[in-house]
């Protein structure tokens, strides 16, 4: 996963946790604007979320952030 996507995921997760608490859930769409302006990046996130991690549609932001921060 490219570094810019990792940073975006950590930023969004942190912001959502601060706003709504540790129990907040997110889908991978949370990391993108409502318009599809970078389909390749969206597919990269979807591939990681669905195929690599086998996440459900919604996962806890604290879990997502911890996994991404542990990635090399």
Q: How many CB atoms lie within 10 A of CB 9?
A: 25
pLDDT of residue 56: 93
Which pLDDT does position 35 carry in this prediction? 78
Angle between helical axes of 61-70 and 3-20 (0-180°, round to 10): 150
Q: Which residues of the chain fall below pLDDT 70?
A: none
**Residue 13 confidence (pLDDT):** 98
The reported pLDDT for the residue numbered 27 is 94
Q: What is the pLDDT of residue 14?
A: 98
């Amino acid at each position: 996963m490219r570094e810019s996507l990792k940073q975006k995921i950590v930023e969004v997760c942190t912001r959502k946790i601060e706003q709504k608490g540790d129990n907040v859930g997110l889908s991978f769409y949370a990391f993108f604007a409502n318009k599809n302006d970078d389909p390749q990046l969206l597919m990269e996130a979807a591939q990681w979320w669905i195929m690599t991690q086998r996440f459900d549609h919604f996962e806890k932001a604290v879990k997502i952030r911890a996994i991404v921060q542990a990635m090399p």
